[in-house]
């Protein structure tokens, strides 16, 4: 075997080893990043609690449900939840003084003798949604009754 052939084979071997190490390095780097992102998500989810917003249009089950998360000790106004749901799902929303909804999704107070009411954790609220603070774990329902 001449010197050129062994040099060529040596270069091919070095290139193959380099390429193998490079592929393994990229794979390890990507997997590390993947697991790191999952860890960050797990930490974030442990410090957050779900909030559920329900728009109950009638007693026959016509509802829209929305989910979001709040920091463990965080708060949000019931009005803000309603406003976010309206914006994200393109639901028409009309209000009167103090951000009290008079129409949600085209269903208006006074239609068939019913009005929109606010409940938090099955407790009816007599206050305007702007003045009702919601915490993680709460269920907020705007019910047409």
User: Do both 61 and 99 map to the same domain?
Assistant: yes
User: Do both 9 and 63 map to the same domain?
Assistant: no
Q: Which long-range contacts (CB under 8 A, 24 or more apart) does 11-17 make?
A: none
In whole angstroms, give the CA distance from residue 38 to residue 71: 18
Q: Which residues, including other chains, have CB under 8 Å from residue 72's CB and lie 6 or more apart?
A: 47, 48, 49, 136
| Domain residue limits at 19 | 1-46
What's the pLDDT at 13?
76
pLDDT > 90 in the chain, percent: 52
Write the CATH number for 94: 2.170.130.30
Angle value at C-alpha 57, between 118 and 120, nearest 5 degrees: 25
User: Do both 136 and 115 map to the same domain?
Assistant: yes
What's the pLDDT at 33?
47
User: Do both 82 and 21 map to the same domain?
Assistant: no
User: Do both 78 and 13 map to the same domain?
Assistant: no
Give 131's pLDDT tier (boundaries 50, 70, 90).
very high
pTM: 0.67
Number of domains within the chain: 2
Give 15's pLDDT tier (boundaries 50, 70, 90).
confident
Over 70: is that where the pLDDT of 44 sits? no
């Amino acid at each position: 075997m001449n010197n050129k052939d062994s040099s060529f084979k040596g270069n091919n071997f070095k290139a193959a080893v380099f390429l193998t190490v490079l592929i393994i390095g990229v794979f390890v780097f990507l997997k590390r990043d993947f697991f790191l992102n999952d860890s960050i998500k797990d930490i974030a989810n442990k410090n957050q609690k779900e909030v559920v917003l329900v728009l109950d249009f009638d007693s026959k089950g016509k509802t829209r449900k929305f989910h979001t998360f709040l920091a463990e000790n965080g708060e949000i106004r019931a009005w803000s939840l309603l406003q976010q749901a309206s914006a994200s799902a393109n639901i028409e929303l009309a209000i009167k003084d103090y951000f009290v909804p008079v129409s949600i999704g085209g269903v208006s107070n006074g239609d068939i003798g019913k009005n929109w009411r606010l409940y938090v954790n099955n407790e009816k609220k007599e206050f305007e949604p702007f003045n009702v603070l919601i915490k993680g774990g709460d269920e907020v329902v705007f019910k047409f009754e």
